Amino acid sequence: MKKLLLIIILISSCYTNVNAQKWFEKLSKGLQTVSNVLGGKKNATGTSSTIKESSKQEKTSESSQGNTISLIKNGYVIIPNHVTSPIPEVAKLYKRSKASIGAEEKRDRYSESSDFTKAYAGVTYTFRPIGNNEVMITHSSNIGYKQGLLEMPSTITYNGRTYSVTVLGSGAVNSTDVTRINWPRNLREIHFNALQDCRFEALNIPSTVTYIGAHAFNSCTSRLKSVTIPASVTHIGYAPFFSAEHKNILQEINVDPNNPNYKSWEGVLFNKNMTELIQVPRCLSYGTYYVPITVVSINRDAFSYCDNIGNIVLPNSVKYLAVDAFQKAVFHCLIIPSSIVAVDEYALGVGNFSREHRESIVMMSETAPIINNLAFNTTGTYFKQDPIIYVPKGCRDSYLSAETWGERKTIIETSFIKQNH
C-alpha cells in the first residue's frame, strides 16, 4: 500500500437534516469500510478489495444517493492521489467545444424549398434532397399504427427520381409509440435530436452509420439499459443518449472494441485515448466514481441529470469543464482538482428539486480558478439549492473576492492533511 497516497481533508459535514445517532453509526461503518479497502481485506461479498486508480470503482447495485458512503463525513474526505498526465492544449479543447455547440445544430441546413412528403408503410415522411441522389428524413407522422415497429424506407421515388435515404435529420422521429426500428439500408448519419421520446426496448445502430450527432437519441432510454456503438462510427456529438426524463434506465454505453475513435470504460463513453469524457449513462450506479487519470475534458452534458452516483472524483489531469458538464446532476460530493483552468457556462449548475439536499463541491486549488459567470446557473425553470463550496484553509477570502465565486452563499474553509500509506 506504499504506492497509495491519501489526502484527508478536514471539513464540515455536507449532510443536513440527519439524525445524529444514525449519522455517527454510518460514519463508523464508512471509516471501517475505507480501512478494509486500504488494507486489502475482504469486502462484503468475500472478495479481496484493493483500490486501483481509475479502474476500480466503488459500485453499488441500488441507488447510490441513498446508500453510498459519502466522501464527506464528520469532516473527512478521502481521495486517491491522481497522477497528472500529458495533456493537449486546453485552448484547443475549449475552442472545439464552443464550435461543436453550433455545428451540431447546423448540420441539417440544406435548402428546405425542395422538401417533399411521401407515405411509406403507413407513415408519412418529409424528405429533403441533400445531393448525390440522397435524401434525409426531417419529419414523420402517423406513427403508432402497429405495435411499436417503425419501418423506414431505404429508397424513395419522387417525380420519377429514386433517392437513397442516408440521413436522419433533426426531428426525424418523435414518438413514444416507437420501440423498434427497421433502419434504412444505407443509413450514414443520425443528426442532432434526430430521434426523440422513443421507447426503445432494444437499439441496434447499423454498422453503416459513421456520424452520431449530439442528443441524437434524446430521451429514448426509458426502457433501454444498454446500447452499443458500432466500429463504423467516426463522429459522436455531445451526450448522444441525453435524457432529462425521470424514467430512465440506461446503465451502459458500450463501444465495439474495433472502433478506432471511441472507447467505453466501465459503461462510460470516452474518445479513444480517454482524454475526453463524453457521456456517463444517467442511471450508472456508483458509490464513488473516479474519473480516469487520462481525462482532460469533461464534455458538454457528460454528467447531466445523473442522480445515481454518490461522489465524483476528478483527477489532476482534468483541465476543462464544458457547458452543462454537471447540469442538474445530483450527488453528495464533487472533488475538483487544482488543475482546472476553464469552467464553462452552466457547467456546475448542479442540484435537484429537493430543498433538503445540497451538493458539496470541494475545490483543491488555493486560488479561485477563472470561471464563466453563468457556471453555477441552471438552464430553464428549475429550483435548486446553491451547493456548499469547500476551499483550502486560508483561501476563503480569495474565493469571495473572485468574480462569480463571491456570489456563492456558502464557502467553507478546510485543512489539508497528507498521509502516506
Domain limits, the chain: 86-412
By the 8 A CB rule, do 165 and 152 touch?
A: yes
The three cell numbers of residue 61 are: 447495485
Distance of CA 48 to the CA centre of its chain: 30
Label residue 212 exposed, middle or buried (CB < 10 Å: 0-12, 13-18, 19+).
Answer: buried
Q: Against a cut of 0.85, is the pTM above it?
A: no
The three cell numbers of residue 125 are: 415522411
86-412: CATH number: 3.80.10.10
- Identity of residue 103: A
| pLDDT tens track, the chain, 421 positions | 433 333 333 333 343 333 333 433 433 343 343 333 333 333 333 333 323 334 446 554 444 444 444 444 444 444 444 333 333 455 555 555 555 655 665 666 666 778 999 999 989 999 999 988 999 999 998 876 556 889 999 999 999 999 999 999 999 999 988 999 999 999 999 999 999 999 998 899 999 999 999 999 999 999 999 999 999 999 999 999 999 876 789 999 999 999 999 999 999 999 999 999 999 999 999 899 999 999 999 999 999 999 899 999 999 999 999 999 999 998 999 999 999 999 999 999 987 655 567 889 999 999 999 899 999 988 765 556 788 999 999 999 999 999 899 888 899 998 754 433 3
The pairing of strands 268-271 and 262-265 is antiparallel
Q: For 327-345, how does the pLDDT look when each residue is reduced to its tens digit (9 = 90+)? A: 999 899 999 999 999 999 9
By the 8 A CB rule, do 212 and 236 touch?
A: yes
N residues, the chain: 421
- What pLDDT does residue 418 have? 40
The secondary structure of 304-362 as a DSSP string is TT--SEEEEE--TT--EE-TTTTTT---SEEEE-TT--EE-TTTT----S-SS---EEE
**Longest C-alpha distance within the chain, in Å?**
79
Cβ burial 274-300 (10 Å sphere, 16+ → b, else e):
bbbbbbbbbbbbbbbbbbbbbbbbbbb
| DSSP H helices in 20-172 | 20-38, 64-67, 90-106
Q: For 126-179, how does the pLDDT look when each residue is reduced to its tens digit (9 = 90+)? A: 999 998 899 999 999 887 655 688 999 999 999 999 999 999 999 999 998 899
